[in-house]
Structure 1
Amino acid sequence: MSQGSEAEAQIEALREQIRFHNRQYYVYDAPQIPDAEYDRLMRQLQVLEAEHPELLSDDSPTQRVGGEPLQGFAEVHHRVAMLSLDNAFNAQKINEFDRRVRDQLGLAADASLIYAAEPKLDGLAISLRYEQGRLVQAATRGDGSCGEDVSSNVRTIKAIPLRLIGDDVPPVLEVRGEIFMPKAGFARLNEAARQQGEKEFVNPRNAAAGSLRQLDPRITAQRPLAFFCYGFGEIAGGPLEQSQSQSILRLRDWGLPVSPLLEQVDGVDGIVDYYQRIEAQREHLNYEIDGVVFKVDLFEQQQQLGFIARAPRWAIAYKFPAQEELTRVEAVEFQVGRTGAITPVARLQPVFVGGVTVSNATLHNMDEVLRKDVRPGDTVYVRRAGDVIPEVVRVLPERRPSDSKPVELPKLCPVCGSEVVRPEGEAVARCSGGLYCPAQRKEAIKHFASRKALDIEGLGDKLVEQLVEQGLVKDPADLFTLSLEELAGLERMAEKSAQNLLDALERSKQTSLARFLFALGIREVGDATAAALARHFRDLQPLMTAERDDFIHDSGIKGVGASTAQAICDTLAGPLPAEPLAGGLADWLAGMNVRGLNRAVAERLSERFGSLEALRQATPELLRREQRSLVEGVGPIVADHIVTFFRQPHNQEVIEKLRQVGVNWEEEAPPETPAESPLLGKTVVLTGTLSRPRSAIKAELQALGAKVTGSVSKNTDYLIAGAEAGSKLSKAQQLGVEILDEAGLARLLGGVSEQSDP
């Protein structure tokens, strides 16, 4: 063996040893050698690589020290969005979540429903992309669709493998997880900061986020960061296994660390039991958690449940109670939001809660103020609900000053003096000033100009406030009639910056329907919902004239679920009274003692059917309440907001003014549908190394109507096999599945007959 070959063998052997011990330490929590021996192996490798720089590779364990400082972080567009989770703070919300899931899956209340359960880490979400088993990119969540490239920093974290093990790793594998700082490492970091007279970190989460977003990777390399996987992004070939929990365990087999507390639980009882067990362990864990995450385990059921705008319907975070502290309410004031909502806010004596100093807390609405009876001068418990929003929990009336007075809703807007109205059935009071109220006007225009809306560069908050206060802008359309002289005359605005703003306004006129809809500031219509509306309606006029039925399919009787509907029909199928019903149909139904059939439901049934004979003819399907969204992300409440918004004459006027000043967009293209092809309805599996990215091939197959799955079964029509195909090829041969190489695939993509030679 030549000296070069011998050195290469030594280097690779050392790398493999170090990777093995990294897995034992970070993945399995079972170190097999002391730290001194690990350090000795690392020094040996460093010496050999220094002697043979031509053998250095970017996935070597020695390459975690960090390179030169970066100028900034590049933008990364997530191929699969990094979604947030809905939160629950009590058992009632968990029961409601489980009931919604069961209703949508058609499962009875007592049927088995398996959830994957694991602690919710209090760190920073990250997406890791592996290609051919090598780490090629790491990105933060960002806004869910676009994050920052932090690959250089992530490569310094020893818990994250630079190369995966195993010959069955997908060619493309994106895993999602949490980077966090263990409590012990956080304590050491702050102790070192104290000794050096530097500022300490507030909590481990801030420390982890600050460490990962260092422009100098060498600083990140010095921070004690750890990592657990909990989910997936893009995977070549589809899901790894049939369930969330099985797929997560596959990641561990490939060398990725996963939570050792991952479990499968059954139904609400399993959720509550797991939550209580983890809460009891919380203080003894070596890392911070702020709750527990539960996900419907089977991917097939996840797919059936789908998503709302920014969160999956099949997952929820059950948050732990936040820390609470006592403080004093110094005043209760009312703020006016951009939609006119009048929100009471408690001004507090500053107090340190959950890692931050809190001086304000939301009181939500007047119902909450009256229910809690919060008054100026009160001593209150304050907490950060969900560790985010400061909230007054309860009052200590025994400490209340003798001269305290209840808080009253103002009759006039505190900003513009317009009448404050509170629609019947709504908790929120609103200023009636609309776009004429300066508070709403400012916020509406700031929103209109924001990055996800019309993205008017240079129109910052201070400038908007000047424009509104000087009467130059009263609605968004006025922005486009501003002159150079008017702008140049504003504070801190020279002629050049004024011209730059005019140019930006001109550019912003050419936009998209989705951005325009988001810019209008319709209540609860975020950027994702605006995009869904644009795709569905394709132009503005059909949306402006749409009714509630265009958004929501509504059938059945309110309050009647699947089990109640079946119970009613089963009861009515039995013997019935021969005499006329005393008290009427509603009274008789309310006395039937059917689970879920209360007085309100009985009255709705009586009003709908009129007689017992007509009700007996109803099927469970006819009775069962079903509200189905016809537009992604638009439920009944959002549908009402949209319809109400476009019915308002002043909103119609502003929209017309915007069109007249030149704001425009192209009509949305209709969604493409698969053309007739030999692959329509066929199930295809990809395996092995192919000449092109598997994601691109998958997209082409799907465009031709194929269903691309990750595992071979008797239902598979084709296996597309590249080089080094493994177990999937063997299974396909056993089942008699037709096997195609890339030449056969090319013929399929070209639209030739589905009968191709392997």
Structure 2
Amino acid sequence: MTEQVNEAEGMPVEDVSDVFGVSVEAAPAAARERHAELAELIEDANWRYYVLDSPTVSDAEYDTWMREIRVLEEEHPDLRTPDSPTQKVGAPISTEFAPVAHLQRMESLDNAFDDEELAGWEARARRLIEADPGPYLCELKIDGLAVALVYEKGRLIRGATRGDGRTGDDITPNVRTLRDVPDRLVGDDVPDLVEVRGEVFLPVEGFKRLNEQLMDAGRPPFANPRNSAAGSLRQKDPRVTAQRPLRLIVHGVGKWEGAEPPKSQSEMYERLASWGLPVSDRFRIVETLDEVREYIGYYNGHRHDPEYEIDGVVVKVNRIAVQRQLGSTSRAPRWAVAFKYPPEEVTTKLLDIQVGVGRTGRVTPYGVMTPIVVSGSTVERATLHNAFEVERKGVLIGDTVVLRKAGDVIPEIVGPVADLRDGTEREFVMPTHCPECGTELAYEREGDADLRCPNTRACPAQLRERIFFAAGRNAFDIEGLGYVAATALTQPLPPQEPPVRTEADLFDLTMDRLLPIRSVVRDPDTGLPKTDPKTGEPKEVTFFANKSGDPSKNAEKMLEQLEKAKTQPLWRVLVALSIRHIGPPTARALAEEFRSLDAIAAASEEELAAVEDIGPRVAATIREWFEVDWHREIVDRWRAAGVRMADEAPAGLEVRTLEGLTFVVTGTLTDFSRDEASEAITGRGGKVTSSVSKKTGFVVVGDNPGSKYDKAVKLGVPILNEEGFHVLLEKGPDAARPLAVTPEEEA
């Protein structure tokens, strides 16, 4: 979705009230609710894209959400919190590999979708430095997997995925198998320590050969080159990675210690190449924005010339000194921008329109098409959102339809090619009853666009989706309980009885109840059964048991993880309950305010609505959820099974010891991840923001704190190192000892 770049020293995002000289009014309830809804959608999309490697929304739809949430935050600055997707990079970290902290944060790039936005980026840069920011370096935006390679004394010591920009997955053994990754750098000017950033990809031809080999072996092919690169690089056995024709192109550096640093981006590429690292042979240095436009225009018409998939062009200010002048926002550098190409379009036959049922009962039409390759992906299904959208687009079953795609797994059906109709086409009729449980469909409220299945408790589709969601990274984080397992638990083939009939059964599972289970394999994007390409019949799988009938490793791991999940904090339990509108940010706010599930269940609508980020509509939804008998049964059964239902206050302290104080955390801490430090603060009633202002109570600094430290010194904000932070957490703010700032630092 976005490209990572190295973090530059720069200007922090200013406090809005300081900039405009006025106090910021709280956003109205409707804006808060829409912001929470968008945040949940974006976080789920990030997780599926970056970690599961199985996106469920198009780039265009994702970009629309991001634009809308940015507009909301511009109109209502109090919505711009550290938990907002606009303030974070990437997605949570996979649990498949050990987490590792990047030496310097890997940022995302802001996007430009047309010439006006590109010109706006250049104008902002020119205004900030009061000079021409050129020359520019233009390079292709590779659709691959972002990685960071750390070399110490010229020797490769670590390779990691981007993850959330601060912490990634340690994939060192797998990275070492890539022929483009030297084990040692050569040259007299190699730094003592350097963190190199790049993109791992699978060449288009290699992708085709790999899929042919997989299909010959009776295994499912990858959806597109990016997924194949990500899947190949995350193999637990490096020997499998070594068999894949993965390539690497590097495009930046992060941490740099020792040796004279380069003075320009192009000089950096020359240095990287001289050390034995692969750099692009297609980048170009240009002087003016018109020349940038020429480069963009050329590759828009030649996007299939490179050996890899691209989805745009990255434009960078070439001079490093100017990059430092421009600095960064909280998530992206001001000195670089990604120009995204418009989606590609192809035509194919629409064979049928089917519907899938989601976690909240929403019934979504999907187009089933003659498989076609577009942007390197073989596509045979695409969402049509709802019946109104099908009617608006005028799509008929049997039509030749236009698909629009820009590196997505699920593309958009733009509309029909009406001139090719021959009279055999027929209209799609939205079903009146749920395809999985037979319940009559209905709109939840007047004016809704989406039909829903109201059989919330017993609909097997909704239960399957809720179990999968409860096990997800943002909820209980249960490794081994993926989509296939969720299907097997809730929908085994007859005459087997499902071990899980409601979420209440989840923590009562035993190995005896798991063996053996046979179920149909379903597509996690649509919920529809997958078919065997040879027979056309639904695919079936035996789960939780190996060929001899003994428990599989997946079954053992899942039960171990279920036991571990019982200790998860309260906010994760709240998310796992699938209460409408309750995503991680809202769940955290509730947990911090009430500290126990019982207190939340007993709270009035007014008390709930008074919590930050929760308005009357969300409060009403929470109250309605707890008034349902079988919902309360889930809570009671989970409690009886030992699931944690309350968060304890920090030992020896009142719950709200940091009430009214605002903190900024910057740099790398030894004993805390960024999330852990934030939770330690918010758990005691404090607030964490991303920018330093006169109103900031404390700035907590670790290694490499960057410009936020400088801003704190300039404004006279108290600064705590990690030792001082420990004191503050253990004994309260009065005992905290801020660092003394020297006159030299102040200057």
In the other structure, the counterpart of 1:616 is none
CA deviations 1:405-452 (Å, max 9, x no partner) are: 433444443333143216566544433333443211221022213465
| Structure 2 Cα separation of the partners of residues 511 and 334 of structure 1 | 35
In the other structure, the counterpart of 2:569 is 512
Q: Secondary structure of the residue that 2:470 maps to in structure 1? A: helix
Matched, 1:360 2:381: yes
Q: Contact conserved, 1:379 with 1:395, CA < 8 A, in 2? A: yes
Q: Contact conserved, 2:347 with 2:402, CA < 8 A, in 1? A: yes
Matched, 1:392 2:449: no
In the other structure, the counterpart of 1:731 is none
| Structure 2 Cα separation of the partners of residues 406 and 148 of structure 1 | 51
Q: Contact conserved, 2:349 with 2:398, CA < 8 A, in 1? A: yes
Matched, 1:449 2:465: no
In the other structure, the counterpart of 2:624 is 648
Q: Secondary structure of the residue that 2:391 maps to in structure 1? A: helix
Q: Secondary structure of the residue that 1:157 maps to in structure 2? A: coil
Q: Contact conserved, 1:178 with 1:229, CA < 8 A, in 2? A: yes
In the other structure, the counterpart of 2:145 is 124
CA deviations 1:317-345 (Å, max 9, x no partner) are: 54435554432222212211112222111
| Structure 2 Cα separation of the partners of residues 697 and 168 of structure 1 | 31
Matched, 1:475 2:502: yes
Structure 2 regions of 5+ residues with no counterpart? 1-95, 519-542, 678-697, 715-735
CA deviations 1:22-54 (Å, max 9, x no partner) are: xxxxxxxxxxxxxxxxxxxxxxxxxxxxxxxxx
Structure 1 regions of 5+ residues with no counterpart? 1-72, 553-637, 685-692, 719-748
> Do the aligned partners of residues 429 and 107 (structure 1) sit closer, same or farther apart at CA in structure 2, a change above 3 Å counting?
farther
| Structure 1 Cα separation of the partners of residues 347 and 149 of structure 2 | 42
Letter in 2 for 1:75: A
Q: Contact conserved, 1:332 with 1:344, CA < 8 A, in 2? A: yes
In the other structure, the counterpart of 2:194 is 173
Letter in 1 for 2:647: E
Letter in 1 for 2:636: K
Q: Contact conserved, 1:236 with 1:694, CA < 8 A, in 2? A: no
The residue correspondences of 1:79-94 to structure 2 (distance < 5 A) are 79=102, 90-91=113-114
Q: Which moved more, 1:394-403 or 1:450-459?
A: 450-459
Whichever structure has more helix as a proportion of its residues is: 1
Quote how far apart the aligned CAs of 1:116 are.
7.2
In the other structure, the counterpart of 1:434 is 456
Letter in 2 for 1:479: L
CA deviations 1:544-576 (Å, max 9, x no partner) are: 867678556xxxxxxxxxxxxxxxxxxxxxxxx
Q: 2:98 aligns with which of 75, 82, 85?
A: 75
Q: Contact conserved, 2:309 with 2:375, CA < 8 A, in 1? A: no
Instruction: Among all aligned residue pairs of Structure 1 and Structure 2, give the percentage whose two residues are the same amino acid.
Output: 33
In the other structure, the counterpart of 1:577 is none
Q: Contact conserved, 1:134 with 1:163, CA < 8 A, in 2? A: yes
For normalisation by structure 2, the TM-score amounts to: 0.55
> Do the aligned partners of residues 333 and 488 (structure 1) sit closer, same or farther apart at CA in structure 2, a change above 3 Å counting?
closer
In the other structure, the counterpart of 2:184 is 162
> Do the aligned partners of residues 182 and 703 (structure 1) sit closer, same or farther apart at CA in structure 2, a change above 3 Å counting?
same
Q: 2:434 aligns with which of 413, 416, 422?
A: 413
In the other structure, the counterpart of 1:555 is none
Q: Contact conserved, 1:319 with 1:386, CA < 8 A, in 2? A: no
Quote how far apart the aligned CAs of 1:102 are.
9.6
Q: Secondary structure of the residue that 1:370 maps to in structure 2? A: helix
Q: Contact conserved, 2:594 with 2:600, CA < 8 A, in 1? A: yes
Quote how far apart the aligned CAs of 1:174 are.
2.5
> Do the aligned partners of residues 324 and 281 (structure 1) sit closer, same or farther apart at CA in structure 2, a change above 3 Å counting?
closer
Quote how far apart the aligned CAs of 1:76 are.
4.2
The residue correspondences of 1:52-451 to structure 2 (distance < 5 A) are 75-79=98-102, 90-91=113-114, 95=117, 118-141=139-162, 145-151=167-173, 153-154=175-176, 156-158=178-180, 160=182, 162-163=184-185, 165=187, 169=191, 171-180=192-201, 186=206, 226-231=247-252, 256-259=277-280, 261=283, 274-293=295-314, 298=323, 303-306=328-331, 317-402=338-423, 404-416=425-437, 417-421=439-443, 423=445, 427-450=449-472
| Structure 1 Cα separation of the partners of residues 589 and 292 of structure 2 | 33
In the other structure, the counterpart of 2:486 is 461
Letter in 2 for 1:649: W
Q: Contact conserved, 1:117 with 1:263, CA < 8 A, in 2? A: yes
Letter in 2 for 1:372: K
Q: Secondary structure of the residue that 1:139 maps to in structure 2? A: strand
Q: Secondary structure of the residue that 1:439 maps to in structure 2? A: helix
Letter in 2 for 1:657: D
Letter in 2 for 1:648: E
Q: Which moved more, 1:318-327 or 1:256-265?
A: 256-265
The residue correspondences of 1:547-566 to structure 2 (distance < 5 A) are 551=612
Letter in 1 for 2:355: F
| Structure 1 Cα separation of the partners of residues 656 and 122 of structure 2 | 29
Q: Contact conserved, 1:341 with 1:428, CA < 8 A, in 2? A: yes
CA deviations 1:232-260 (Å, max 9, x no partner) are: 556679x9799988977876687654445
Q: Secondary structure of the residue that 1:407 maps to in structure 2? A: coil
| Structure 2 Cα separation of the partners of residues 422 and 386 of structure 1 | 34
> Do the aligned partners of residues 116 and 126 (structure 1) sit closer, same or farther apart at CA in structure 2, a change above 3 Å counting?
same
| Structure 1 Cα separation of the partners of residues 102 and 656 of structure 2 | 19
| Structure 1 Cα separation of the partners of residues 565 and 417 of structure 2 | 53
Quote how far apart the aligned CAs of 1:261 are.
1.9
Aligned CA RMSD, in angstroms, stands at: 6.3
The residue correspondences of 1:709-720 to structure 2 (distance < 5 A) are none
| Structure 1 Cα separation of the partners of residues 198 and 306 of structure 2 | 18
> Do the aligned partners of residues 517 and 174 (structure 1) sit closer, same or farther apart at CA in structure 2, a change above 3 Å counting?
farther
Q: Which moved more, 1:367-376 or 1:448-457?
A: 448-457
> Do the aligned partners of residues 504 and 226 (structure 1) sit closer, same or farther apart at CA in structure 2, a change above 3 Å counting?
closer
| Structure 1 Cα separation of the partners of residues 672 and 643 of structure 2 | 39
| Structure 2 Cα separation of the partners of residues 82 and 358 of structure 1 | 35
| Structure 2 Cα separation of the partners of residues 640 and 241 of structure 1 | 55
> Do the aligned partners of residues 279 and 192 (structure 1) sit closer, same or farther apart at CA in structure 2, a change above 3 Å counting?
same
Letter in 2 for 1:304: T
| Structure 2 Cα separation of the partners of residues 649 and 698 of structure 1 | 34
Q: Contact conserved, 1:113 with 1:266, CA < 8 A, in 2? A: no
Number of equivalent positions: 543
Letter in 2 for 1:663: V
> Do the aligned partners of residues 388 and 198 (structure 1) sit closer, same or farther apart at CA in structure 2, a change above 3 Å counting?
closer
CA deviations 1:276-330 (Å, max 9, x no partner) are: 24324434445442322467985676643437xxxx9998754435554432222
Q: Which moved more, 1:138-147 or 1:379-388?
A: 138-147
Q: Contact conserved, 1:472 with 1:482, CA < 8 A, in 2? A: yes
CA deviations 1:163-205 (Å, max 9, x no partner) are: 2656683x5432321123567x8599899999x9999999765
Q: Contact conserved, 1:122 with 1:205, CA < 8 A, in 2? A: yes
CA deviations 1:515-560 (Å, max 9, x no partner) are: 32442345687668867886798766579867678556xxxxxxxx
Letter in 1 for 2:160: A
Quote how far apart the aligned CAs of 1:362 are.
1.3
| Structure 1 Cα separation of the partners of residues 408 and 313 of structure 2 | 14
Q: Secondary structure of the residue that 1:339 maps to in structure 2? A: coil
Pick 1 or 2: higher relative contact order, CA cutoff 8 A, min separation 6: 2
Quote how far apart the aligned CAs of 1:123 are.
3.1
| Structure 2 Cα separation of the partners of residues 425 and 313 of structure 1 | 42
